[in-house]
Structure 1
Amino acid sequence: MNRSLSDRMFVTFNFAFTLILLAVVLYPLAYILSASISNPLAVNSGQMWLWPKGITFEGYARVFQNAEIWMGFRNTLLYTLLGTAIHLAILLPCAFAMSRKDMRGRSVILVFLLVTMFFNGGLIPNYLLIKNLGMMDSWLAIVLPNAIGIWSIIVTRTFFTMNIPHELQEAAEIDGCHLFGVFLRIALPLAGPIIAVMSLFHAVGLWNQYFAAMMYLSDRSLFPLQLILREILILQEMNTTMLMNGDQLDSLAEQARISDILKYAVMIVSALPLLIVYPFLQRFFVKGVLIGSLKG
């Protein structure tokens, strides 16, 4: 097919723009990865801008020698798996019920749900609620308060409405399948894309969670990974400040070097698990985020 000059210019522009966008996205990741295994002096002086300089794995060694890092990994993995399972167990039945045309009062229920998107009790009432429910210093304080979101319900309901025809559900009911059977045998097998998308969204939120843990947990054995890493970075900065005030220049230089090594290694350690998981969910993710697009 012969393309006109304007078409070729348009394709060339899109290709160049995509390459520039790719470079903008990939460069920070490549820089952090290279900085995590480079000599901090080369990083701070600007000698390292893409490829590693003075390769050293001291940062990773120091991170993984810390027993609390492994404890944080275990806790975060537990919170992520349990929280995502609870999220899906509440989300999918609720969204499926809201997608049914024969559900009475679904418009009224939707209005009440939408109200919670605009109004929130606030930090202090939430804290008092968690305390009065006896969930302080418990994994329940991490996974239950944000187990479900109205935005997730609306998106999942839209998926069920657009991709699972009501006629298919009626046909199953005529064949003797009860409502729970329709949900388990028809709706869920066809909902793979939206399940992957909602699982990934919620899992990322739980994996990066540290504020709720900082508010509700005082037992260090329950701390998630992000809170442990945050404390490591803050402790390194505090030690550097204390040494600076004490005029211990040799110790200050060594402490600053260790702090720079840990900073980039910690970033990689906290982000790598999600980067590994995402490619396996990409095909479902791309399909799921296109909910609402026009169909030919």
Structure 2
Amino acid sequence: MAAVIKESKTDRMFLGFTYLFLAIALICVLYPLLYIVSASISSPTYVNSGEMWLLPKGITFEGYQRVFENQAIWRGYANTILYTVVGTLVNLLVTIPAAYALSRSDFVGRGFFMGMFLVTMFFGGGLIPTYLLVKELGLINSMWALILPGAASVWNIIVARTFFQSTIPKELQEAAHIDGCTNLRLFWKIVIPLSSPIIAVMALFYGVGHWNSYFNALVYLNDEAKYPLQMVLRQILVLQEMNSSGIGTATSGETAMAMNARADVAALLKYAVIIISTLPIIAIYPFLQRYFVQGVMIGSVKG
């Protein structure tokens, strides 16, 4: 019979503080989520006055109804899905081959290329030169203006390179070459099937970045029909702020009531769109979680 290890008083105190810290962290994470869900089905009157702070009050589904009826939101949703899927594929097509090439010790000049990549992490041309470059390439007001300038992340390339160096045995590559396997076939037939964890992690990182991005759309897109969902949400937030700031200065009672009503509608739409826009990421993450855990452990000490 195994001996039971008795915990000391110090161990129990440490365990108690650990559970307390985790409980506080859980509350800090869950409260904003619960608040947004409750606010999306609560009357804006209770939300704006602060009476609704956790559970829904004055339950109404008008916000979701208006979301389903708003063509601009669904158009933005479709645009975001398109930009995320195409952008993530482009990111993977650039990042994975580049990382694998830099992980090969027999790649001539890999130190030079890695150094050039690292320079871009610390020095950049800035917004105006980047905008001028995108304009000269004829990408303004197109999907590619949101995808090509950020086709590769140097940090993600370094992470993927570390994965290849620590996971793909050099002996396996040498054995494949002895059997007559070319570098391209080695990469496609052997390396890629063994790299599902890092591919899933990179897809998650890049996908979330594309899904949440709005600044590039703000800079490069002029046509509202091409706006992603985050830009539509930004317009709703700006509309709500403008209406809220104008209510107090309105001279006509009828005008004030109309602006107040518009602000309430904007508030309903805001919380409903937040919920709808985060659902795809929440739905996909559980399927990639195990790969994500493997990915963040890249480079750790192995027993």
With structure 1 as the length reference, what TM-score do the two structures score? 0.95
The alpha-carbon deviation at position 243 of structure 1 amounts to 4.6
After the TM superposition, which parts of structure 1 deviate over 4 Å for at least 4 consecutive aligned residues?
none
The alpha-carbon deviation at position 250 of structure 1 amounts to 2.5
The alpha-carbon deviation at position 264 of structure 1 amounts to 1.7
Q: Which residue of 2 aligns with 1:253?
A: 260
Q: Which residue of 2 aligns with 1:187?
A: 191
- Taking a change above 3 Å as real, the CA distance of residues 245 and 155 of structure 1, as seen in their structure-2 partners, is same
SS in structure 1 at match of 2:149: coil
Q: Which residue of 2 aligns with 1:24?
A: 28
Counterpart-to-counterpart distance in 1, 2:88 and 2:193: 18
Q: Which residue of 2 aligns with 1:8?
A: 12
Counterpart-to-counterpart distance in 2, 1:256 and 1:221: 23
What percent identity do the matched residue pairs reach? 54
Q: Which residue of 2 aligns with 1:56?
A: 60
Counterpart-to-counterpart distance in 1, 2:91 and 2:280: 20
Counterpart-to-counterpart distance in 2, 1:13 and 1:226: 39
Q: Which residue of 2 aligns with 1:271?
A: 278
8 A Cα contact 1:96 1:157, kept in partner: yes
- Taking a change above 3 Å as real, the CA distance of residues 270 and 88 of structure 1, as seen in their structure-2 partners, is same
Counterpart-to-counterpart distance in 1, 2:168 and 2:36: 44
Over residues 124-149 of structure 1, what are the superposed CA-to-partner deviations in whole Å (9 max), with x where a residue is unaligned?
Answer: 11111011101111111111110101
8 A Cα contact 1:243 1:251, kept in partner: no
The answer to whether structure 1 residue 84 and structure 2 residue 88 are counterparts is yes
* Count of paired positions: 296
Aligned partner letter, 2:28:
V
Please list every run of 5 or more consecutive structure 2 residues that lacks an aligned counterpart in the other structure.
none
Give the one of 288, 295, 300 matched to 1:288.
295
- Taking a change above 3 Å as real, the CA distance of residues 273 and 50 of structure 1, as seen in their structure-2 partners, is same
Over residues 163-211 of structure 1, what are the superposed CA-to-partner deviations in whole Å (9 max), with x where a residue is unaligned?
Answer: 1111111112222221112111221111111111111111111111111
Aligned ranges 1:1-296 → 2 under 5 Å: 1-5=4-8, 6-247=10-251, 248=253, 249-296=256-303
The alpha-carbon deviation at position 282 of structure 1 amounts to 0.7
Over residues 70-123 of structure 1, what are the superposed CA-to-partner deviations in whole Å (9 max), with x where a residue is unaligned?
Answer: 111111111100000011011111100100011111111111111111110111
Counterpart-to-counterpart distance in 1, 2:185 and 2:208: 31
The alpha-carbon deviation at position 245 of structure 1 amounts to 2.9
Please list every run of 5 or more consecutive structure 1 residues that lacks an aligned counterpart in the other structure.
none
8 A Cα contact 1:240 1:255, kept in partner: no
The alpha-carbon deviation at position 272 of structure 1 amounts to 2.0
When the two chains are superposed, the root-mean-square deviation of aligned CA atoms in Å is 1.6
With structure 2 as the length reference, what TM-score do the two structures score? 0.93
Aligned partner letter, 1:291:
I
Counterpart-to-counterpart distance in 2, 1:66 and 1:20: 38
